[in-house]
Amino acid sequence: MTMPRVNLPLTPGDWLGMLGGGQLGRMFCMAAQSLGFRVCVLDPAEDSPAGSVADRHLRADYLDEAALAELAGLCSAVSTEFENVPARALEFLARSCVVSPSAAAVATVQDRIREKAFIRDAGIPVAPYAPIVQVSDLDAADPGLFPGILKVARLGYDGKGQAGVASLDEAREAFRDFGEVPCVLEKRLSLELEVSVVVARGVDGQTLAYPVSENVHVAGILATSTVPARVSQDVAARATAATIGLARALDYVGVLCTEFFVLEGGQLVANEIAPRPHNSGHYTIDACVTSQFEQQVRAMAGLPLGATRQHQQAVMLNLLGDCWIAADGQPPWAELLAHPEAKLHLYGKREARAGRKMGHVTVVAASLTHAVHVAGLIAQRVGAAR
């Protein structure tokens, strides 16, 4: 493949492209603009969290060649904010722009079947699983995988596209309900904790990790991240080394996150890789020297990475639409802003729906115990899951 001719590092005033208009794209735009870049967002929605803060918004489908060509003409470097962007769009852009992460890296992790095989082949344990592409794969699957979870291989997020299945019969039914699209059947593990690690890797291969985040999911959606995670140094070191190893194996440029399950006895199992900044890394905006979004900008622009050091203990609470609905459609603003150590980030979404990520709040403090305490009070006041 011929490499595009782009002179790195980029300089102030240069345009960065972002595929996707969600909150990750929005926080990326803000970080890029702080460094002096301009951002063009490609997203089909008229009104999107990133489109509304971008210097330019191309409102088109991700595979619209005219829009992709316009984006490529304007921007020297392009990134994406969600893994379900068609790899073909990234390949198209890669002819004339620096695209990070690469289409190949995104293609590996956007399909659970490929992703799990890739992680396992990198020597990192995954939950026992079987790829399911037809009903007979279910019949042939190890009965030890039950009770399990059937997950669609592509396009799942926030627990969507997953079904708990206690038996082969239930798995057959769930597979039919998903329209017999490729899936993985995964054994349901008993989790002590969930953690994640965000790393950034520059074009020169320099790789820096952020502290390990301890995550609580409620109904499949991240509810809280507590950082640093309350795990042993050994568990933290192994999760970090595994994530750095995965980023290297993908020849990755940009920000990547790996989610892990911690099992009894400190055994670590990698769950999935996100080829982008991650919800569990939002705390970095307020608690680290360099946020995960600034780091993504630096990596794609060929700039040196910033320090990942955490200067405040942190608890991040996701704010879902449920909190708005409970407050007659209004953001629970006053309650959040009443706490001087709570840093509020709203995503500019007009419509609050149950389960929709509307914003997050990060409680920062000198002690983690205090941050946990205040976050607990806030969650209770605004009805946030925790």
* CB nearer ligand ADP, residue 271 or residue 362: 271
Site string for ligand ADP, 135-154 (x = CB under 6 A): --------------x-x---
Q: Is 259 in the site for ligand ADP (CB under 6 A)?
A: yes
The reply on whether position 186 binds ligand ADP by CB under 6 A is: yes
Length of the chain: 386
Provide the sign of the torsion angle of the four alpha carbons 343, 348, 352, 356, taken in this order.
Answer: negative
Gap between the Cα atoms of 167 and 170, Å rounded: 5
Of these partners, Mg ion, ligand ADP, none, which one is at the site of residue 341 (CB under 5 to 8 Å by kind)? Answer: none
Task: Give the residue with the Cβ less far from ligand ADP, 146 or 168.
Answer: 146
Cα 183–Cα 355–Cα 323 angle in degrees, nearest 5:
165
181 in the Ramachandran plot: left (φ > 0), alpha (ψ -120 to 50) or beta?
beta
Residue whose entry in the numeric block shows the structure tokens 């000198």? 366
Which of residues 38 and 217 has its CB atom nearest to ligand ADP in the complex? 217
Q: Which does 44 bind (CB under 5 to 8 A by kind): ligand ADP, Mg ion, none?
A: none
Largest CA distance in the chain: 59
Q: Which is nearer to ligand ADP, 97 or 316 (CB)?
A: 316
Segment contacting ligand ADP by CB under 6 A, of 87-95, 97-105, 189-197, 312-320:
189-197
Residue 81, helix vs strand vs coil: coil
Q: How far is the CB of 148 from ligand ADP (least distance, A)?
A: 7
> Structure tokens of 286?
């307020």
**In this complex, which beta carbon is closest to ligand ADP, that of residue 208 or of residue 262?**
262
Using CA atoms, how far residue 46 sits from 71, 74, 210, in Å, is 17, 20, 34
Stretch (H or E) spanning 164: strand 162-165
Interaction between residue 272 and ligand ADP (CB under 6 A): yes
| Interface positions with ligand ADP (CB under 6 A) | 127, 149, 151, 156-159, 186, 188-189, 191, 194, 217, 220, 259, 271-272
